[in-house]
Chains A and B, each alone.
Chain A
Amino acid sequence: MEPLIEEAELARKGAPTDPIAAPTGESVKKVDTRRKSPTQIALARLRKDKVAVICASIFLFFILIAIFAPLLAKLEGQDPTTLNQNLIDRYGYPTVAPNGEHWFGVEPRLGRDLFARWVYGARPSLIVAGSVTVVTTLVGVVVGLIAGFMGGWIDRILSWIIDFVLSLPYLLFAIAVPAALLAVFVGNTEAAGNEEVASVRFYALIIVLSFFGWASLARLIRGEVLTLREREFIAAAKVLGVPTRKVLFKELLPNLVAPIVISVSMALPTYIVTEAGLTYLGVGLTEPTPSWGLTIAAAQSWYRADPLYLWIPVAAITILVLALSLLGDSIRDAFDPRTRR
């Protein structure tokens, strides 16, 4: 078998056509393409990409922090909820700097341990972003497959719904919907406990982000399926009498791996930012959930007196999102032969 993809690359010296791609004419990572599936080729390319490997390690580091948050807090000997009022002076300023007992110091005013809140804060970010990514990908792929493959009135209805969701101002809805959901599930907000409100807000955030997230992927998949379904192997499967479900998931889906993987890798950092941003605005997660967005919101009024309080969550979220975005770019380059830099 000839390494067709590498040849196609060498032949392609003309202008790039993808508007988002930004080829700088860098040398392409050479990998052995013989007897390998496109996914294996892409993964081999990714392993040779230094930036991708570093970014993936950073991502893994944060996942480990989130998983072992209780262990790390125990190692430090603190927990995220104890109020160390003895370490706070009467103006609310912490009296201790970061030390062996409180690795990142304590929160002004309440005196909770910052390291413990920081490691626990990795959890909601990753859980919300992860579950929203899973839900939107599943829904987007299934809707896109059905709309593109079935055509006719099913396609028309699904396409209208896709257009509808895409034409809603999602940030405004992200503010408005949790208010309504809170009223439905908790009833009187003033009577309900903090814990209850916090857990409803947690699910409300996932629901809202999922509701608005699936449509763009569905549109992308639908477009891909529209071209794929005219290909010979689909016609062959139909002639052989393969059931529709099998055609969709065994014949079409494997051909959609690249756009799906690319979309997932782009979605994850976006949702981490959205979660932190909405939480920062006060419409996402609420106390007592430890969250970086909440810490940033609380720390902004202490930025002069206690810069570390602000900068630790800011650094964490910036590094995590930066790593994931650059990883996403590398993944796109590895999986999509047309947009390689």
Chain B
Amino acid sequence: MKEEQAVLLYILRRVLSAISVVIVTLVASFALFFFAPTDPAGVICGPRCTPERVADIESSLGLDQPKVEQIALYMKGIVAGREYSTGGVVRHCDAPCLGYSYTLGQPVTKLIAAALPVTVSIVLGGAVVYLIVGIMAGTIAAQVRGTSLDRFVVGSTLVVQAIPYFVFALLIALYATFLPDSGYHPFLDNPFAWASGLLAAWLTIGVTNAASYTRYSRASMIEALGQDFVRTATSKGISRRRVVYRHGLRAGLTPVVTIFGIDLAFQLTGAIFTESIFNLPGIGLLTLRAFNQYDLPVLMGGVLIGSVVLVVMNLVVDIVYTVLDPRVRLG
């Protein structure tokens, strides 16, 4: 009973801390962008613009209000939605409202909802590649530890890890012309087109990240294979293959899975290079475009979504790990 209470208390503390991080991020990024003396109305209006038109746009976006009220409005928009009126037309932005894009004239939430599946497809597909390649290479290297094959695997992971990711991705994009053209097609429309359009991105993410997973799973497997239960299993006459892949791998994979959870969260927010180089319209490319066009609401929406994804993923990893491994809680 006491044990369960401790777990619940730990989870509650983590959830509260996660919420506090999200709120501080929200306020900090809002302050950063909206206290800066920018001129969004001028950006929307374009170069040939009358002062009346600018004033009109400012009032429709609520930019003529005091800054503190703007923050309150923005917060209210997230919780309850808000109204925008442009030139007599009132548009309702449903909760959670992150505002309207200055340049695209669409709600930020809609843009993000369109971009999120792209990023998720890229990251998950890439993860499948590097998990399979990395864990297989690591497991094999662990079994032949100290041989020239092992040294070759470790040496090549060092080299692959040291190549700058964007350079590697760029060279793949430019020279690996035998791969199908990159582009995003929704999975439900045509699964085959979806896969072939993302193949180059998956392989790039897969190869570069496989290096670190090879090293993690190799070290982890070496440790697992040195444990007593492996010796017991071997002495019971179980085949080597079964000992390694059933007994060893199960124990050896737990730390790798934890690292994977944290990595995945970061990749979901950081697929910017992949998206930009392979021209895939995900969250990263959306944010980059917003940066170039000074589209503050989209920029902020991207940052917020990224923070929330990261915080939630970290929370899930922590909680799952606590439930699986009671020793963690002591830390």
Contacts and interface: CB of A to CB of B under 8 A. Distances in A.
Contacts of B309: 169
B33 A180 contact: yes
B154 A172 contact: no
B127 to A, nearest CB: 18
A276 B166 contact: yes
A225 B22 CA distance: 29
B175 to A, nearest CB: 8
Contact of A17 (B159, B171, B223): B223
A179 B284 contact: no
B226 A167 contact: no
A276 B164 contact: yes
B241 to A, nearest CB: 21
- Most B CB within 10 A of own CB, among A167, A173, A181, A276: A167
A175 B223 contact: no
A268 to B, nearest CB: 12
Contacts of B39: 188
Interface of B: 17-18, 20-21, 24-25, 29, 32-33, 36-39, 145-146, 150-151, 154, 157-159, 161-167, 170-171, 174, 215-216, 218-220, 222-223, 225-227, 255, 259, 266, 269-270, 272-273, 276, 283-284, 287-288, 291-292, 294, 299-300, 302-303, 306-307, 309-311, 314
Given A22-B218, A169-B269, A172-B283, 17 more contacts: A15-B225, A16-B222, A20-B219, A163-B17, A169-B310, A171-B269, A175-B299, A176-B32, A176-B287, A176-B300, A184-B36, A188-B39, A277-B164, A282-B288, A282-B292, A300-B174, A321-B163
A-B residue pairs, 6 tightest by C-beta: A169-B306, A169-B269, A15-B226, A325-B162, A25-B146, A183-B36
Interface of A: 14-26, 160, 163-164, 167-173, 175-177, 179-181, 183-184, 187-189, 269, 273, 276-277, 280-283, 296, 300, 303, 310, 314, 317-318, 321-322, 324-326, 329, 341
8 contacts: A16-B223, A169-B266, A172-B269, A173-B303, A269-B162, A281-B273, A300-B170, A322-B163
